[in-house]
Structure 1
Amino acid sequence: MGAPLFTFVFAYVTTPIFYVNAAPHIGHLYSMVLADTFHRYWKLRDMDSIFATGTDEHGLKIQQAAAKQGKTPQVLCEEVSGTFKDLANAGNVQYTDFIRTTEPRHKVAVQTLWTQLLDQGYIYKGHHEGWYSVSDEAFYAENQVVQGADPVTKEPCKVSMETGSRVEWNSEENYKFRLSTMAPLVQNWLRDNPGVIQPVERYNEVLASLSTPTSDLSVSRPAHRLGWGIPVPNDPSHTIYVWMDALTNYLTVTGYPQVDPRDPGYKGHWPAHTHLVGKDIIRFHSVYWPAFLMAAGLPLPKRILAHAHWTMDKAKMSKSRGNVADPYQFLQDLGQDGARFYLVRDGGMTNDADYSMEMALRRYKKELAGQLGNLLTRSTSPALNPTGTVPQALYVMEEGNGQEPKGLREKDRALYTSISQLPSQYEKHMEEGHAGKAVAAVFDMLSEANRHFSDHAPWKLKETPEQVVLRSHVVWWAMEACRTAGILLQPVMPERASRLLDLLSIPPSQRYWKDLGMGKGWRRDDGAPEGDQGLVTLPPSEVLFPSRKK
């Protein structure tokens, strides 16, 4: 299987922190589950991985939403932030840190970074004017806006080319970051590291956006207009702009500034291995954030992975259209792991994915219940495995010598190849940011395993000594396929995959990447020869994926 394509000891994956001006939706659940899948994958590989998600709680939209509801911004943030944490827990998202930008530790990190950039001359006070979007809380240059229509009222107006949000001309005094100075350095970094933004379509878009001169970036707002945020150090008349505030959360989680990656002998999780973001905020993460970090002399992230969005009936989900999927109902209808499986399996990376409960149930029935669950049930049932133990193959597997087992039957060759090659295929897909393709590869192997099982029709074999041995052989292949799938599906379906491995009597210590490979299953520590599985007893068989209907 070889070493990982990325060689590192510490892994750190992040979701974007979610804005608390509205309740969480299925797109938020997708981001959290996808990031959790990568986090669990690295833990499967026995790496020291941390995973951060959380909420972005400052900005004009929060201030306005709170005023509209007759609440203080802090009360609103407390309420809505809790719903994101609840959704993460409902989806079995195993974050190691839930960061909130209203926490004192984050204020310290943001003001420290600001002061460093100011002291080094990258932040200055100036006059700023341009096309401003209230919903994006961002200024846009002339070449970043077009004539369009207001997303809500539909009246003609200028809109952002990137987000489609309405913009209006605005002029004010604020602090600015020298993005014009840093943009060429970011451009060179991207050219030198073509895999740093995935998928490649997003990389090309960002690189193309840097081909024209870049204006300096407004990084504060007058406090009289925006009071809900972190004050500019030594100038309380200004509030730090939400994007510099929000992006710094990734550093806060690692202990910055008390733990500084620039210190000699630093051993920690920065830089992040993967910033997982939605495609609509790719510029903030792949231009502004690297520019801030470069200016501060901090290491840059290894990968920015931008996923696409979920639509319904090929249209963007919207409450006004009535095409919004309730994430809690979704989890209830499919079960926790069934929902996670569908999100990872069908979620879009390059192109938007169209949410369909019908398709989700079809995936559940055909792949989870039909391929994986059915193969497990048939191979462990008393009818085909009356002893309730793990049978032996006709030959001893010798993993690691680069050769197939001696006496490999031609009828077993296709399944042997499929199981043997799966870990490297899975690894390649995961480390290229395509978790859905990794899952698909597992089910390609299971499809071959089911074909192998059906072709041999063990239920038709007679009770002669030769056919009893052959039946045990066929059952062993099915169990080995299920064992391999169970190990590799743990990052996606942690609870059901764990139960599958329980039903195969695989101890927790043998459920890691190191345990993949023919002949590595059901190892014993009692001095018995390697590969002697005959005494491993299985628990009673059960239905792993019960029927589900909408």
Structure 2
Amino acid sequence: MSLPLARHACRQLARAPTRRTRATLHPTHPPSSIHQSARFLSTATPTTAVKPYLITTPIFYVNASPHIGHLYSTVISDVLARYARLRHPERPVMFCTGTDEHGLKIQQAAEESGKDPKEFCDLISTRFKELARAGTISNTRFIRTTDKSHVKAVQYLWRKLRARGFIYKGSHSGWYAVSDECFYTDAQIRTTVDPVTKKETKVSLETGKQVEWTEEENYKFRLSAFREPLISWLQSNPTAIYPPKRHAEVLASLTSGPLADLSVSRLRSRLSWGIEVPEDPEHTIYVWLDALINYMTFAGYPWHDGQSDGKGWPPDIMTVGKDIIRFHAVYFPAFLLALDYELPKTILAHAHWTMDRSKMSKSLGNVADPFQSIEHYGVDGVRYYLMRAGGSFTDDSDWSSEQVTKHYDTHLKDLIGNLFSRIASPRLLARLEEANAVPHSQPRGTVGERDSAIHAMLVELPGKVEKRFENLEVGKALEDIMDCLAEANRHFTQLAPWAPNTPESIKSAYFYSSETLRIAGILLQPFMPTKSAELLDRMGVGEGERGWEDAGLGKGRYEGVARLEPGNPLFPKLARVSQEAQTAEGKVGKKEKVPLKVKLESLRG
């Protein structure tokens, strides 16, 4: 394609595809209410099949073992996937995570470890699979970029891009960062002084990684043709990137100046570990083009006539780290626009984690080991803290054993565990029996003054949680649930059902406390699936009574009363643990140590 034609393509894309994408990202739905959430509803019509809710994590780079940031990304998507199933059980959920296994860093790390690249990838990828299992992640597929289906998808897309004139061969020079596997322009780098050698060096403004000047022949993608369509897409779709801060950052970067064409291959003599360019064995496809196509592979790509054949495309949510937002919000949408494919509905770009207010660094020994953390706090203790402390997604969150322990003790053990112990105590059950009260029956008459606050909070809670999820305010959804549990504990203490009381006071204490636990147990299922199930089991709530429609006040159907199990509290007391025990010091859990010299990088998609 000539440059005039590329400009013509840009003008065309700025019109038709942008309108098409805008319609896709904002389908017409009935007005949102506490029973109708637009974000999680299917875009199906009476004459079309239900579109699955499709959600992804970034695929993680296998140059080192998993850390807490990898688990964080995965738990975010898992919470949203579980909520989608809970809120709309009739709609299928497609949820993918996996590993990114090509590129120069992998090739170098495998050489340093004395392993074949595939053998090396198998070892580390297995650890990410184990992390998904340990974190009770409900993914429907674990994808690897070494999968044959993915290799086929990448080469098919390459041929289509080239057939449309968006890939061409030329020479390329620029500042290249091996750590990022990315070229940068002069405007994207800065000069700094190495603290050890005291020599000047060039680094990326975005990632801080060292760059070196590189010149080579390779293939390039006409990214420059898509600046205006991308700007139009973001300006007309304020929810295309979340949080709004990231949306503004990407839009500002696009409007600040022209886009340079993107290098999309490397000479095979330099990079052999990757997917070969079709019809040109001297080149390897750029690792980021390769990696980004995994989302399409998951949805059944190649598609016929540009359609996904009901496989769920486009993604409803793509969860990524903020450091890789440019790849997902600029490069990937440009690839899709070039082939007239629909764009993702929302790219959720979360912040990162520090440890004791310092940036996590493997060299400093302060990278939180997710396997050890799960072993100590329990999987739901870790999931809870990740979503409570990191549920806003905008600012970096801090991981410290002191804070995780505090949240476990004051929120989980004291609020949930304590309230359960109260209603399940033999003393209270005996008082109910003395008062001839049916354990789960609602007090008759109007709501009393002492019951009014907890009554109102329980009535409103499902709607508040739904609104929070609709706005991706996951951390605030947890706050709303825990506020209700705190009020239920206060209400129970105020009524003091263990003291001489009227039958109605005893019934109110038991009814509102048990209903709070039941409703909270249902709404906490996306966050803490294991403990929620245990709580509902021990309260006698049947497995068929744990859906969204069951989360209303007074809808509880119990198969028995809650009973304490001696020596088996819902949230056991934590053993004391040092901060050092929560960090990964170059080892792969309790298994074979992988001899890596490369630094532990941040999330990679």
Superposed pair shares fold, TM > 0.5 = yes
C-alpha separation in 2, matches of 1:154 and 1:307: 34
Judge conservation of contact 2:440–2:514 (CA < 8 Å) in 1. Answer: no
- Larger displacement relative to structure 2 (432-441 or 183-192): 432-441
1:21 deviates by: 0.7
Which digits, 9 at most, give the CA deviation of each residue in 1:21-41, with x for residues without a partner? 111111111111121111111
Alignment of 1:254 with 2:299, yes or no, is yes
Judge conservation of contact 1:11–1:272 (CA < 8 Å) in 2. Answer: yes
Alignment of 1:384 with 2:417, yes or no, is no
Which digits, 9 at most, give the CA deviation of each residue in 1:409-462, with x for residues without a partner? 222221122112212221222232232221111101111111111111111134
C-alpha separation in 2, matches of 1:55 and 1:199: 25
Aligned to 1:307: 350
Once the two structures are superposed, the pairs formed by residues 188-207 of structure 1 within 5 Å of their partners are 188-207=232-251
Q: Of 217, 226, 237, which aligns to 2:282? A: 237
Aligned to 1:460: 499
CA 420–153 in structure 1, closer or farther in 2 if over 3 Å, else same: farther
CA 151–55 in structure 1, closer or farther in 2 if over 3 Å, else same: farther
Alignment of 1:267 with 2:310, yes or no, is yes
1:154 deviates by: 6.5
C-alpha separation in 1, matches of 2:152 and 2:439: 57
Aligned to 1:428: 467
Q: Of 116, 127, 147, which aligns to 2:171? A: 127
Alignment of 1:5 with 2:54, yes or no, is no
Aligned to 2:564: 541
Alignment of 1:490 with 2:519, yes or no, is no
Judge conservation of contact 2:351–2:396 (CA < 8 Å) in 1. Answer: yes
Question: More relative contact order in 1 or in 2 (CA 8 Å, sep 6+)?
Answer: 2
Aligned to 2:46: none
Aligned to 2:416: 372
1:147 deviates by: 1.6
Judge conservation of contact 2:300–2:311 (CA < 8 Å) in 1. Answer: no
1:470 deviates by: 2.2
Gaps of 5+ in 1: 396-405, 523-532
Which digits, 9 at most, give the CA deviation of each residue in 1:51-82, with x for residues without a partner? 11110000000011111112111111011111
C-alpha separation in 2, matches of 1:490 and 1:155: 53
CA 252–497 in structure 1, closer or farther in 2 if over 3 Å, else same: same
1:332 deviates by: 1.0
Aligned to 1:528: none
Aligned to 1:73: 117
Aligned to 1:23: 65
Aligned to 2:81: 39
C-alpha separation in 1, matches of 2:403 and 2:163: 55
Judge conservation of contact 1:307–1:350 (CA < 8 Å) in 2. Answer: yes
SS of alignment partner, residue 221 of structure 1: strand
Judge conservation of contact 2:442–2:554 (CA < 8 Å) in 1. Answer: no
CA 153–414 in structure 1, closer or farther in 2 if over 3 Å, else same: farther
CA 407–317 in structure 1, closer or farther in 2 if over 3 Å, else same: same
Q: Of 337, 340, 343, which aligns to 2:386? A: 343
CA 150–430 in structure 1, closer or farther in 2 if over 3 Å, else same: farther
CA 279–260 in structure 1, closer or farther in 2 if over 3 Å, else same: farther
Aligned to 1:450: 489
Gaps of 5+ in 2: 1-33, 43-50, 578-605
- Larger displacement relative to structure 2 (468-477 or 269-278): 468-477
Judge conservation of contact 1:176–1:217 (CA < 8 Å) in 2. Answer: yes
C-alpha separation in 2, matches of 1:338 and 1:330: 9
1:262 deviates by: 2.7
Once the two structures are superposed, the pairs formed by residues 466-485 of structure 1 within 5 Å of their partners are 467-485=502-520
SS of alignment partner, residue 354 of structure 1: strand
Matched-pair identity in %: 49
Normalised by the size of structure 2, how large is the TM-score?
0.84
Q: Of 399, 402, 406, which aligns to 1:355? A: 399
What one-letter code is carried by the residue in structure 2 that aligns with 1:68? E
CA 291–150 in structure 1, closer or farther in 2 if over 3 Å, else same: farther
What one-letter code is carried by the residue in structure 2 that aligns with 1:548? L
CA 260–475 in structure 1, closer or farther in 2 if over 3 Å, else same: farther
SS of alignment partner, residue 385 of structure 1: helix
1:260 deviates by: 4.4
Aligned to 1:219: 264
C-alpha separation in 1, matches of 2:174 and 2:510: 69
Judge conservation of contact 2:317–2:344 (CA < 8 Å) in 1. Answer: yes
Normalised by the size of structure 1, how large is the TM-score?
0.92
Judge conservation of contact 1:5–1:431 (CA < 8 Å) in 2. Answer: yes
- Larger displacement relative to structure 2 (125-134 or 240-249): 125-134
Which digits, 9 at most, give the CA deviation of each residue in 1:290-310, with x for residues without a partner? 111111111111110011111
Aligned to 1:527: none
Q: Of 330, 348, 351, which aligns to 2:373? A: 330
Aligned to 2:449: 410
C-alpha separation in 1, matches of 2:393 and 2:305: 31
Q: Of 170, 177, 200, which aligns to 2:221? A: 177
Alignment of 1:438 with 2:477, yes or no, is yes
CA 499–20 in structure 1, closer or farther in 2 if over 3 Å, else same: same
C-alpha separation in 2, matches of 1:213 and 1:90: 45
C-alpha separation in 2, matches of 1:424 and 1:243: 40
Which digits, 9 at most, give the CA deviation of each residue in 1:222-265, with x for residues without a partner? 111111100111111111000000000001111111x448339x
Judge conservation of contact 1:160–1:167 (CA < 8 Å) in 2. Answer: yes
1:539 deviates by: 5.0
Alignment of 1:287 with 2:330, yes or no, is yes
C-alpha separation in 1, matches of 2:179 and 2:375: 32
CA 198–150 in structure 1, closer or farther in 2 if over 3 Å, else same: farther
Which digits, 9 at most, give the CA deviation of each residue in 1:462-521, with x for residues without a partner? 4xxxx1232022211001111111001111111110011112211111111121211221
1:150 deviates by: 5.0
Q: Pairwise CA RMSD of aligned residues?
A: 1.7
Judge conservation of contact 2:459–2:552 (CA < 8 Å) in 1. Answer: yes
1:5 deviates by: 3.1
C-alpha separation in 1, matches of 2:518 and 2:463: 16
C-alpha separation in 1, matches of 2:170 and 2:127: 39
What one-letter code is carried by the residue in structure 1 that aligns with 2:58? P
What one-letter code is carried by the residue in structure 1 that aligns with 2:379? Q
Judge conservation of contact 1:271–1:299 (CA < 8 Å) in 2. Answer: yes
SS of alignment partner, residue 560 of structure 2: coil
CA 270–261 in structure 1, closer or farther in 2 if over 3 Å, else same: farther
C-alpha separation in 1, matches of 2:327 and 2:439: 53
C-alpha separation in 2, matches of 1:29 and 1:314: 19
What one-letter code is carried by the residue in structure 2 that aligns with 1:494? P
C-alpha separation in 1, matches of 2:516 and 2:197: 56
CA 250–288 in structure 1, closer or farther in 2 if over 3 Å, else same: same
Which digits, 9 at most, give the CA deviation of each residue in 1:133-183, with x for residues without a partner? 111010111211112245886642111111111111111111111111012
Judge conservation of contact 1:151–1:165 (CA < 8 Å) in 2. Answer: no
Q: Of 366, 371, 393, which aligns to 2:442? A: 393
SS of alignment partner, residue 429 of structure 2: coil
Aligned to 2:98: 54
C-alpha separation in 2, matches of 1:152 and 1:285: 34
